[in-house]
């Protein structure tokens, strides 16, 4: 992105809108943090996944669409200023606006601007359309802080329509054997996207409580999902025969799954693309479906941002930085604390 500058002007000294501190990405002129991992005064939140939205901050600023999920996760007494996508708010002379990241309901890229200098923090994002959240918006900026969860060329997603067809045919074949289908999917985002892609005409869709709670937030936000029923309320075990159960990966324990006498298990994640990951999870099937951009999605987005400087975080940052430098971009690794185990399951 070309700076707003007359020819012959002395280049202005670079204004760093963000710096990395012990508590996370900090905007000193605006006095706020983005997705801090410690309790701070003011937190601007990209989305409600646990490693991005932590409790204990005095004030939160986040998208209107994410409010009910953040309250579910951080408690009803959290103080949130809700901002609509595209709306600009000013904090100490720094303009902040939130733009759809296409990752989960309410997920946002954070755009900050001061004296013509524009930085964008991507949060987690994906490019492919998702019927359960607003589509990713391509932004332009001087410095782009991008995630890189799947930042290796080996990660290349097939169209989700193909994946949903695979999931539905797996469900059908389990039904033919009178089996329950248990699909493990992260409770916020992936589960709702998968449920929206299920062929509800095949049978009943049951949910784990953690999934059902988030489903309710989605429905309140106007997202249409097929009817689902919380497993806990079911006394007749025969009801599960031939049905689909959507549960978080943490529910893959004998204590939870024993109620489904005869069941097939599958896991949905971008990590299923790696041989061995499915075996490690001891499931019958792995469906490669991610709420993050794949390699091409990441690289195309970074190039299209026209950023002169790219900060890469949250994943295969060394590999992405090396590739961007080879393309002549000014790229550096920024080690945040987002690359947690939670994100690995969420991805």
**What CA–CA distance (Å, rounded) separates 334 from 337?**
10
3 state DSSP class of 314: strand
Query: In terms of Cα–Cα distance, which of 264, 217, 270 is closest to 244?
Result: 264
Cβ proximity to Zn ion: between 45 and 94 the closer is 45
Shortest gap between Cβ of 288 and Zn ion (angstroms)?
17
Exactly one of 65, 113, 212, 343 binds Zn ion (CB under 5 A); which one? 343
Cβ proximity to Zn ion: between 46 and 228 the closer is 46
**What CA–CA distance (Å, rounded) separates 130 from 126?**
9
Q: Which two tokens stand for residue 111?
A: 């755009």
Cβ proximity to Zn ion: between 171 and 338 the closer is 338
**Interface positions, 175-204, toward Zn ion (CB under 5 A):** none
First to last CA, the chain: 30
The answer for 202, left when phi > 0, alpha when psi is -120 to 50, beta otherwise, is: alpha
Q: Which stretch binds Zn ion (CB under 5 A): 122-130, 193-201, 206-214, 229-237?
A: 122-130
Exactly one of 124, 130, 212, 294 binds Zn ion (CB under 5 A); which one? 124
Q: Which stretch binds Zn ion (CB under 5 A): 88-96, 173-181, 209-217, 335-343?
A: 335-343
Crossing angle of helices 190-197 and 209-220, rounded to 10° = 80
Cβ proximity to Zn ion: between 186 and 295 the closer is 186
Q: Which stretch binds Zn ion (CB under 5 A): 4-12, 119-127, 180-188, 274-282?
A: 119-127
Shortest gap between Cβ of 40 and Zn ion (angstroms)?
18
Query: In terms of Cα–Cα distance, which of 81, 34, 74 is closest to 60?
Result: 81
Shortest gap between Cβ of 18 and Zn ion (angstroms)?
17
Shortest gap between Cβ of 110 and Zn ion (angstroms)?
14
Cβ proximity to Zn ion: between 42 and 49 the closer is 49
Shortest gap between Cβ of 191 and Zn ion (angstroms)?
13
Cβ proximity to Zn ion: between 94 and 310 the closer is 310
Q: What is the total count of residues that contact Zn ion (CB under 5 A)?
A: 4
Shortest gap between Cβ of 35 and Zn ion (angstroms)?
8
**Interface positions, 286-325, toward Zn ion (CB under 5 A):** none
DSSP letter at 68?
A: H
**Interface positions, 41-100, toward Zn ion (CB under 5 A):** 49
3 state DSSP class of 277: helix
Let me know how many helices (H) and strands (E) the chain has, helices first. Answer: 9, 19
Cβ proximity to Zn ion: between 65 and 343 the closer is 343
Query: Binding of Zn ion at residue 130 (CB under 5 A)?
Result: no
Cβ proximity to Zn ion: between 52 and 278 the closer is 52
Helix, strand, coil proportions of the chain in percent (round to 5)? 30, 25, 45
CA atoms within 13 A on the CB side of 250: 12
3 state DSSP class of 341: helix
Residues that bind Zn ion (CB under 5 A): 49, 124, 338, 343
């Amino acid at each position: 992105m070309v700076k707003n500058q007359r020819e012959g002007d002395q280049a202005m000294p670079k204004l760093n809108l963000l710096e990395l501190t012990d508590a996370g990405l900090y905007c000193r002129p605006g006095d706020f943090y983005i997705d801090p991992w410690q309790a701070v005064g003011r937190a601007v939140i990209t989305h409600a996944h646990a490693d991005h939205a932590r409790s204990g901050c005095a004030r939160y600023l986040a998208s209107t669409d994410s409010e009910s999920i953040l309250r579910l996760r951080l408690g009803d007494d959290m103080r949130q200023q809700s901002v609509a996508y595209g709306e600009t708010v000013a904090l100490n002379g720094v303009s902040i606006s939130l733009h759809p990241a296409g990752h989960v309901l309410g997920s946002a890229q954070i755009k900050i601007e001061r004296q013509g200098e524009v930085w964008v923090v991507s949060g987690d994002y994906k490019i492919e359309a998702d019927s359960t959240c607003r589509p990713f918006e391509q932004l332009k900026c001087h410095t782009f802080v991008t995630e890189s969860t799947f930042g290796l060329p080996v990660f290349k997603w097939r169209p989700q329509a193909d994946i949903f067809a695979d999931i539905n045919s797996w469900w059908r074949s389990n039904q033919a054997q009178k089996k329950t289908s248990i699909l493990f999917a992260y409770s916020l985002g992936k589960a709702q996207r998968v449920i929206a892609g299920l062929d509800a005409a095949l049978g009943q869709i049951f949910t784990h409580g953690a999934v059902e709670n988030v489903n309710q937030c989605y429905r309140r936000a106007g997202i249409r999902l097929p009817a689902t029923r919380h497993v806990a309320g079911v006394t007749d075990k025969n009801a599960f025969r031939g049905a689909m159960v959507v549960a978080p990966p943490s529910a893959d324990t004998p204590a939870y799954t024993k109620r489904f006498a005869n069941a097939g298990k599958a896991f949905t994640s971008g990590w299923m693309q790696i041989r061995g990951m499915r075996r490690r999870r001891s499931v019958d099937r792995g469906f490669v479906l991610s709420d993050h951009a794949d390699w091409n999605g990441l690289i195309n987005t970074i190039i299209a941002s026209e950023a002169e400087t790219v900060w890469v975080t949250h994943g295969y940052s060394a590999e992405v930085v090396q590739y961007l430098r080879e393309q002549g971009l000014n790229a550096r690794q920024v080690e945040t604390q987002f690359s947690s185990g939670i994100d690995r399951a969420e991805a």
